[in-house]
Structure 1
Amino acid sequence: MSYLLDTDIISNLLRRTPSTTLVRRLASVDPDQQFTTSVTVGELVYGAHRVPDRTELLLERIDEVLGADLPVLAFDDHAARRYGALRADLERSGTPIGDADLRIAAIALTHQLTVVTANVRHFDRVPDLAVQNWLTDEE
């Protein structure tokens, strides 16, 4: 099984003291089975720029955490098409989710990945999407 690390998971790793539960779970999974998205990178960089006195430090920390080993999957044409269909379906059913989360979900579905997030309630609205929270001991 392969995993897509959501923004809140990467953000946790940026902390001085990341969750020990999260660090343990990441260490138990082959690095070749861990991914993130260009959407997450954009959200992280945006967050860094919202703190002007710490922007450079935060950007450096983002680069350290993402490193060269964590593949970043793009929001490509296949994901965009899946996103459009999902967005319409969720709006029709009255259960929309945020745009960034929906793009991340579309990328995960396109690549058949399980989303790792603390924001399970939003992602659970997406049909056929596997979701796990590695900040708790539950799967």
Structure 2
Amino acid sequence: MRFMLDTDSCIALIKRKPVGILRKIISLGPGDAGISAITLAELRYGVAISAQKERNSQALDEFLLPLEIADFDETTAGAYGEVRAALEKAGTPIGPLDTQIGAHALSLGAVLVTHNAREFRRIPGLAVEDWLA
């Protein structure tokens, strides 16, 4: 996985807006893009609280078909501990799920694709791209 999609990028792709992000994802090769299991949990939560659960669940399932879903494993847990400690020490913490997603991308050496680049750039060493800008 070269690119890990954050939740906001996934939602943009599911909604097919803006077109630029669709072009970017289509240009990638097989296995180049994926998501964290944490992102999947956020997306499933969004479906669970939506007014159109069946439609949104189907759209999510179709979106997920070509993507790798990376497990949050022991290596990732270690990276999370280090990232969270560094952010707290610097006095620049970010939300707990974003910390997990950022640490996950960092542990895999993947570029995190997010429209929330300002927050994620607080994570030392994390490569971030905004395909929605």
Same fold flag (TM > 0.5): yes
User: TM-score, normalized by length of structure 1?
Assistant: 0.91
Q: Secondary structure at 2:52's aligned position in 1?
A: helix
Instruction: State the AA in 1 paired with 2:68.
Output: P
**Mapping for residues 5-84 of structure 1, pairs under 5 Å:** 5-15=5-15, 17-51=16-50, 53-67=51-65, 69-84=66-81
Q: Secondary structure at 2:31's aligned position in 1?
A: helix
Q: Deviations over 1:3-34 (max 9, x none)?
A: 1111111111121x421110111122213211
Q: Secondary structure at 1:32's aligned position in 2?
A: coil
Residue 4 of structure 1 corresponds to 4
C-alpha displacement of 1:59: 0.9
Instruction: State the AA in 2 paired with 1:119.
Output: N
CA distance in 1, matches of 2:88, 2:28: 35
Instruction: State the AA in 2 paired with 1:38.
Output: A
Instruction: State the AA in 2 paired with 1:109.
Output: L
Q: Where do 5+ consecutive residues of structure 2 fail to align?
A: none
The root-mean-square deviation of aligned C-alpha atoms, in Å, is 1.2
How many residues are treated as equivalent by the alignment? 133
User: TM-score, normalized by length of structure 2?
Assistant: 0.95
Q: Secondary structure at 1:4's aligned position in 2?
A: strand
Structure 1 segments of 4+ aligned residues over 2 angstroms from their partners: none
Residue 103 of structure 2 corresponds to 106
Residue 126 of structure 1 corresponds to 123
